[in-house]
Amino acid sequence: MSTTSGIETASVEPLLSLEAITKRFGSFAALSDVSLELRPGEIHCILGENGAGKSTLCNLIFGVHRPDGGAMRFRGVPFQPSGPADALGHGIAMVHQHFSLVPDMTVVDNVLLGRERGVLNRRQCAAQLEKLAVDYGLPLDPDAKIEDLSVGERQRVEIVKCLIRDPSLFVLDEPTAVLLPDEIAALLDVCRRVASSGRAVVLVTHKLAEIKKIADRVTVLRGGRVVATSATPAADIDALVRAMIQGNVEALDSSAASVLGLAPVPRARRDRSAIVKTEALQIDGLTVRDSQGVTRLDNFTLTVDRGEIVGVAGVEGNGQSELTAVLSGMMAATEGRIHLGEAELTGLAPKAITAAGIGIVPEDRHAVGCVTGMSLAENIYLNRLDEFTRFGFLKRSALQREAAAMMQRFDVRARGPAATFSSLSGGNQQKAVLAREITLPNLTCLVAAQPTRGLDVGAVAAVYDHIRAASARGVAILLVSSELDELLSVADRIVVLYRGRIMGACAADPARREDIGAMMAGHAQEHVQGNVHA
């Protein structure tokens, strides 16, 4: 591995080269003197912490931003894309970190959007989607509306939108953060097939297991600069991690190690035998049927005690989204009741649920977790802005002062509290949402859905440190995650959802992995049932 010395020379001429690229947003340098080459036939992975400049780099390649310094060359000639349409015209396609889909349109219409004029040939497009599903294992219902799809299915639409254009350069900005294990394997296979056909792939990921499996070369960004490169990433994993986090790999806890794909570090289980159980969140018979009458959540019954962390495991699309939507007040339950202590919350609006003491970290932070056009400070205190108003006017200096302290506490990296929320990296947006919810003055229960999705290793460790600290204060935690390793390292107890029903529950013990995996596949394990403690 080399550090800060550029990428090793190779006989293959680069498809795209970046030379001393610099990008500033005001006084903030998002990228400084970045040089790299993307060659046909290889997969080039980009590593870096949240806010390191990875998404900015991808957006420069795709024409979303223009560099302030340096030069790009595509197929040997100067390349200055005027926008994404220009980049697409050159054969560059990108899967963004955040979805760029129209929610009330169908899958096929989203795929056709911007590609054709006049009469749309939906039947031909649907046939192409079916072929891609067969070729790459990415099935989609062409007639389904985006708003009715799970997060993982929406990501599939984004990937298919790119594949259908047959790009010569395929840029993927954290595409696996919302995919299931089988889907991740299918996507990595897609990347390898694309590269094997003589095209280039750029893959931004935090998971070292993916790098070990798929990367031909790796570039590490830190603070907007190239700090390391490797042409043998599988052999240089430890050094790459150290370059990325500027720290000690051995110091990572089990939850942080799991997001990287490293072997989790065993942690001592909390001794809860002497704790007097006090019920906080009680969910009784929660059932949700959609507009077509399909049961999405079926008689879900669960109690979470104060100071307890209960993990909800399961393959995405098995009722987790509906569960968190009902608990947050964003969806009405067909049947069932919800209590927080003695107070009934069934059917209450989100504002009332927050006021009752439930913090919500939603799985889709963009859709329901923030207001992207507002400032970072306003988003951090979105549910408490009345504390910073006087005579109807917002006291911005006080708001920004308090927000700056919160940014430091939760390591939210941005140009400042006045920065527009949309300008933050995805990981920093997630940390800001967590900061807001976990610091509610009357927090009794935290419902966190996929709280580490898209976060780097350091941020994962920090998020779970905050969650454990809240639990130690007596906050009840309901943690929904598709990352089983994380649940096993953080939770006290795990319940498994399958097709909307609880298949069983057990202690969050790594020795139970096989049982939990079987329940996730729909096989009930009688010897771990009966621990749901309704």
Quick check: is 384 in a domain? no
- The domain boundary, picked from 143, 166, 189, lies at 166
Residue 271 banded pLDDT, cuts 50, 70, 90: low
The pLDDT value recorded for residue 426 is 76
Are 70 and 189 within one domain?
A: yes
Are 331 and 190 within one domain?
A: no
Please give the DSSP secondary-structure letter assigned to residue 190. H
Q: Compare 402 and 1 and report the one with higher pLDDT.
A: 402
Residue 182 banded pLDDT, cuts 50, 70, 90: low
The per-residue DSSP string of 311-352 comes to EEE--TTSSHHHHHHHHTTSS--SEEEEEETTEE-TT--HHH
Residue 371: which of 278, 438, 436 has the closest Cα? Answer: 436
Are 81 and 180 within one domain?
A: yes
Check if the beta carbon of residue 296 is closer than 8 Å to that of residue 500.
yes
Residue 383: which of 349, 411, 407, 412 has the closest Cα? Answer: 349
Quick check: is 407 in a domain? no
**63-77, 151-165, 257-271, 517-531: range with highest mean pLDDT:** 63-77
| Beta-ladder partners of 496 | 313, 504
pLDDT at 508 over 60: yes
The pLDDT value recorded for residue 61 is 96
**Structural domains counted in the chain:** 3
- Interacting residues of 486 by C-beta distance below 8 A, sequence separation 6+: 255, 258, 259, 452, 460, 464
The helix (H) or strand (E) run that includes residue 503 is: strand 501-507
Are 445 and 461 within one domain?
A: yes
Are 150 and 181 within one domain?
A: no
**Distance (Å, whole) CA 157 – CA 142:** 10
Q: How far is CA 17 from CA 1, 32, 100, in A?
A: 20, 15, 26
Are 62 and 130 within one domain?
A: no
Are 34 and 149 within one domain?
A: no
- Interacting residues of 124 by C-beta distance below 8 A, sequence separation 6+: none
Q: Compare 274 and 459 and report the one with higher pLDDT.
A: 459
The pLDDT value recorded for residue 353 is 95
The pLDDT value recorded for residue 7 is 36
Quick check: is 327 in a domain? yes
pLDDT digits (tens, 9 = 90+) for 205-261: 877 778 888 999 999 998 899 999 999 998 888 888 888 877 555 545 555 555 455
Are 58 and 113 within one domain?
A: no
Quick check: is 293 in a domain? yes
The pLDDT value recorded for residue 5 is 37
**Residue environment code for 65-103, b if the CB has 16+ CB neighbours within 10 A, otherwise e:** bebeebebebeeeebebeebeebbeebbbbbbbbbebee
Quick check: is 499 in a domain? yes
Quick check: is 30 in a domain? yes
- The domain boundary, picked from 135, 151, 166, lies at 166
Are 155 and 197 within one domain?
A: no
Are 245 and 283 within one domain?
A: no
Range of the domain at 455: 279-370+439-528
Quick check: is 429 in a domain? no
The lowest-confidence range among 13-17, 320-324, 528-532 is 528-532
Quick check: is 468 in a domain? yes
Residue 281: which of 339, 331, 327 has the closest Cα? Answer: 339
CB-based burial label for 18 (10 Å; 0-12, 13-18, 19+): buried
- The domain boundary, picked from 166, 196, 222, lies at 166
Report the predicted TM-score, pTM, of the whole model to 2 decimal places: 0.65
- Mean local confidence (pLDDT), 309-335: 91
Are 154 and 300 within one domain?
A: no
Are 362 and 454 within one domain?
A: yes
**Distance (Å, whole) CA 243 – CA 325:** 39
CATH at 13: 3.40.50.300
Looking at the chain, the whole-number percentage of residues with pLDDT higher than 90 is 48
Average pLDDT over the chain reads 85
The pLDDT value recorded for residue 230 is 93
